[in-house]
Amino acid sequence: MTLSQRPVLVVGAGIMGAGIAQVAAQAGHPVALVDARAGAAASAIDKLATTLQGLVAKGKLSAEALQATLARLQPADSVAQGVAALASAGGVALVVEAIVENLAAKRSLFAELEGLVAPDCVLATNTSSISVTAIANGLQHPGRLVGMHFFNPVPLMKLVEVVAGLHTEAPVAEAIYALSQAWGKTPVHAKSTPGFIVNRIARPYYAETLALLQEQAATPTVLDACLRGAGFRMGPCELMDLIGHDTNFAVTNSVYEANFFDKRFQPSGVQRELVDGGLLGKKSGRGFYDHRTGALPTVP
């Protein structure tokens, strides 16, 4: 099974979906980017064009590569529209789902997709934490569903966790592994355990950060300065702002529940307060930091 340069449907034009669409188009695939919010996919592609133009200006990308990449990208406001847009290129060979971190939403999307794509089309989910086995449950062809877990920001981060659930057929996981390599990524095979590999390790890291904040032991600025000083590329608070507190909170809840409410993975009230207040981080303009002012965190 080869997916090389075949049409890709990316569903969800948020932080992750836009990055995945960019990487796929740069690797030569015709791509349709879909979002349920009208106009969201088109504006994500506009934003992406501006970013790539910046790379051309810096001499990091050729003008021809920019034009070729943009020519491969099409926006759509529904999956049916996205599937139709790729019909003339041979039909969707791979779906990469990057919608909200919610099992019911993902199941319902894949059920709809099964009615629109060919039976051999690979269905990949970018879920951070939800059981790949559970997402596949109920599909007509559950063996073709696999986790393809990218990291943020997608064009820069090399790691992809290729997550096999109990239903996932081995050739499907191998095809996604090979495709990730073709996209310049460094894939690893993972099992559908709660949080897979990176998020399993990262949850207690965020939990301890949030506990220190709750205890008012240190400010976000101090915590970030400490961890940067210890060699981390980003501090935990600025990283949570980048991920998005809504997504990060959903991931924490999912890992907590999947670990039978083990206290190590317990969500934090600090996180919930940010989500309830719409302070989602970089994507909403404010989280721990105010991203609208562009001020960099400094040690007080």
Binding site residues, ligand NAI, CB under 6 A: 11-17, 34-37, 40, 98-101, 105, 109, 126-128, 149-152, 243-244, 247, 251, 283
- In this chain, which residue has its C-beta nearest to ligand NAI? 14
The set of residues, in sequence order, having a beta carbon less than 8 Å from that of 22 and lying 6+ positions away, is: 48, 51, 52, 69, 154, 155
Angle, alpha carbons 86-162-248 (nearest 5°): 90
Q: Is 199 a catalytic residue?
A: yes
Alpha carbons within 13 angstroms on the beta-carbon side of residue 210 total 24
> Judged by CB, which is closer to ligand NAI: 151, or 177?
151
The set of residues, in sequence order, having a beta carbon less than 8 Å from that of 44 and lying 6+ positions away, is: 13, 14, 17, 18, 21, 33, 35, 75
Strand order in the sheet with 122-125: 73-76, 31-34, 8-11, 94-97, 122-125, 145-149, 159-164, 186-191
Q: How far is the CB of 131 from ligand NAI (least distance, A)?
A: 13
> Judged by CB, which is closer to ligand NAI: 161, or 164?
161
Q: Is 29 a catalytic residue?
A: no
Q: How far is the CB of 57 from ligand NAI (least distance, A)?
A: 26
Kindly name the residue from 192, 199, 248, 254 that is annotated as catalytic.
Answer: 199
> Judged by CB, which is closer to ligand NAI: 1, or 49?
49
> Judged by CB, which is closer to ligand NAI: 18, or 179?
18
Q: How far is the CB of 145 from ligand NAI (least distance, A)?
A: 14
Q: How far is the CB of 125 from ligand NAI (least distance, A)?
A: 7
Kindly name the residue from 131, 161, 180, 268 that is annotated as catalytic.
Answer: 161
Angle, alpha carbons 50-35-39 (nearest 5°): 60
Kindly name the residue from 29, 149, 167, 245 that is annotated as catalytic.
Answer: 149
Calpha distance 273→260 (Å, rounded): 23
Backbone φ and ψ of 113, nearest 5°: -60, -35
> Judged by CB, which is closer to ligand NAI: 89, or 160?
160
Q: How far is the CB of 236 from ligand NAI (least distance, A)?
A: 13
Q: How far is the CB of 256 from ligand NAI (least distance, A)?
A: 15
The set of residues, in sequence order, having a beta carbon less than 8 Å from that of 10 and lying 6+ positions away, is: 17, 20, 21, 24, 31, 32, 33, 34, 95, 96, 98
Q: Is 259 a catalytic residue?
A: no
> Judged by CB, which is closer to ligand NAI: 1, or 291?
291
Q: Is 128 a catalytic residue?
A: yes
Kindly name the residue from 126, 128, 131, 268 that is annotated as catalytic.
Answer: 128
Task: List active site positions.
Answer: 128, 149, 161, 199
